[in-house]
Amino acid sequence: MKKRRFTVEQIIQILAEVEKDNSTVVSVYRRYCIGQDMYYRWGKEYKKTLTKPVIIG
């Protein structure tokens, strides 16, 4: 099996970067060397994580 290049935490950070910094999606593709399909696949899988509150304790 192929090793994952990004951890779940890194993927969430990348997705949040687009929304928080108002960066263009294309600039994020280029910065992290990912394809458009990968970005939108991650969005489907991990966007829920961005909207859930984190419970500590």
Is 29 a member of any domain? yes
Which one is predicted more confidently, 39 or 56? 39
- What is the span of the domain harbouring residue 24? 8-51
Is residue 36, in this structure, part of any structural domain at all?
Answer: yes
Domain contains 56: no
Claim: this prediction has a pTM higher than 0.85: no
Unique residue bearing structure tokens 């290049």: 5
Residue 17 resides in a domain: yes
Q: Is residue 16 part of a domain?
A: yes
Average pLDDT over every residue of 14-37: 84
Domain count, the chain: 1
Question: How far is the C-alpha of 28 from the C-alpha of 25, rounded, in Å?
Answer: 5
Selected residue with higher pLDDT from 8 and 19: 8
pLDDT at 55 over 60: no
44, part of any domain: yes
Minimum mean pLDDT range among 7-11, 18-22, 29-33: 18-22
Give a yes or no: residue 40 inside a domain.
yes
Tell me whether residue 57 is in a domain: no
How many residues belong to the chain?
57
